[in-house]
Homo-oligomer: A and B are copies of this chain.
Amino acid sequence: MSRETDDLADVADIEEDLEDLALEDDYALNPEFVSDVADALDRGDAERLRELLSALHPADVADLMGFLSADAREELVPHLDPETLAEILSELDSEIREEVLEHVPSATLAKAIGEMESDDAADVVDDLEADKRAEVMAAMPETERAAIETSLAYEDETAGRLMQREVVAAPQFWTVGQAIDHFRRDAGDLPELFFDIYVVDPAYKPVGAVPVSLLLRSGRQVPLAQIMEPVNEIAVDLDQEEVAYIFDKYHLISAPVVDSAGRLVGQITVDDIVGVVQEEGEEDILALAGVSDAGRDASVMGIVRSRLPWLLINTLTAALAASVIGAFEGEIQKLAILAALMPVVASLGGNAGTQTLAVAVRALASRELSAFNAVRTVSREMVVGLMNGAALALLTGGAIYLMFHDLRLTLAFGLALMINLFVAAAAGAVIPLALDRMGRDPAVSSSVFVTFVTDFTGFFAFLGLAAIILL
């Protein structure tokens, strides 16, 4: 601070204070700071707004926009310069991004997109409405446009869309010194950040990689071919979930992406993988609950649309399970306590089935469950189901006997509970395995099957046994 004047030091202090105010200890945005921004927007106080926004990292500005109302966001957009806009766009939730993009003039957008890495640029262009997309693409230089079109030709959620086209490659016969001199001379052509230099053969196929830190500590005369390490090549059409699995398993920092002929076409870096792993985990949580996230800024109708289909499917299965009860109406009329106990049998089966299901879905996702140990896993689950069923039958059976002093009722309840927990364990393990074998995502739709099986079995076993033993 010695070279700054006192005035500048004061400004710096204020900025430091604002930064401290903006984020809470856990790096979440401070609600008061969000209110300050909303107030400044209401008052149209551009000066204060500029001050507040300058305290934030672009990722935090994106986060902030998620907390503002749609109107406030629309007012905020003109206050962002193209460079900041470029950084924010790739951080925004997709439904908010679509809305923001509508309010940015095409020329500004073309400029902002030009500042982005190729993967982020393609994502943004993909979100544009057809008309606007044509305008923006027309306003971009030929080479950038071509690069984005190439990216968009790859399917969503594949390596091709995840990769950046900017890579650092060197021929096999170069030495460390030649590589370093080359990079220093042509620094402008290099990606902003890179972690590995890919060594390629004359056909531009990657044959190895040299981590930048290794390059730095090796002698200038050492040939790259001597220090290069083997690479895990990623096929350009590989699903992003598979890509994440490979990165996680082999602790990769970056990996070369190759086309069908094996030629280097781009690279994926691990910082993009963190986002993918996060996303895939979230998708599984939501899929198991039968919901697709409509996002924090979704409209009520958007949310209803995202949830109603699952509820309708569940209505059908619930009705089917209820029809079992209908078949035992006579028994229930004779002994109404059956109606109070049957949901307990069904509900505990549902809980046990959900437990097994969650474990199986997790194990399948991490490749810990495969054809090799499927039989062993399912049998073990079934033994666990029997034991849990026996334990619960003893406990709850005891309670029921104490309350009703009816040994036959106790017996029917306990047996039904054991049967349902056994069936729950089998269904919770077999259903996701079967879906996986059929090439479907086991997290999606497993739970409706499992719950149906445990409801149906719970009602049928308890009422059926009661009819036989009691009446």
Contact = CB atoms under 8 A, between A and B. Distances in A.
Contacts of A435: none
Given A184-B216, A332-B336, A245 B373 contact: no
Interface stretch (A39-47, A72-80, A144-152, A303-311): A303-311
A347 B314 contact: yes
Q: How many copies does the complex hold?
A: 2
A29 interface: yes
A71 interface: no
Contacts of A359: 286, 289, 291, 293-294
B307 A384 contact: yes
B242 A26 contact: yes
Contacts of A204: none
Interface residues of A, number: 130
A343 B369 contact: no
Nearest to A376: B69
Instruction: Name the residue in A35, A319, A340 with the highest tally of chain B Cβ atoms < 10 Å from its Cβ.
Output: A340
B285 A362 contact: yes
B348 A311 contact: yes
Interface stretch (A103-111, A123-131, A134-142, A321-329): A321-329
B362 A286 contact: yes
Nearest to A241: B26
A18 interface: no
A366 B347 CA distance: 31
Contacts of A377: 296
A214 B183 CA distance: 10
Interface in A371-407: 371-373, 377, 380-381, 383-384, 387-388, 391-392, 395-396, 399
B249 A217 contact: no
A97 to B, nearest CB: 14
A268 interface: no
Interface in A246-280: 246-253, 270-271, 273-275, 277-278, 280
Nearest to A168: B213
Identify which of A277, A312, A357 gathers the most chain B CB atoms within 10 Å of its CB.
Answer: A277
A361 interface: yes
A213 B194 contact: yes
Interface string A206-248: 0000011111111100000000000000000000001011111
A348 B314 contact: yes
Contacts of A195: 195, 212-213, 253
Contacts of A116: none
Contact of A337 (B293, B326, B365): B326
A304 B213 CA distance: 49
Interface in A182-207: 183-184, 187, 190-191, 193-195
Contacts of A354: 289-290
A371 B31 contact: yes
Given A216-B184, A339-B339, A340-B323, A363 B314 contact: no
A143 interface: no
Most buried by B among A34, A211, A303, A343: A343
Contacts of A347: 314, 318, 321, 451, 455
A303 B384 contact: yes
Given A285-B288, A304-B391, 7 more contacts: A281-B285, A286-B359, A300-B384, A311-B355, A318-B348, A322-B343, A326-B337
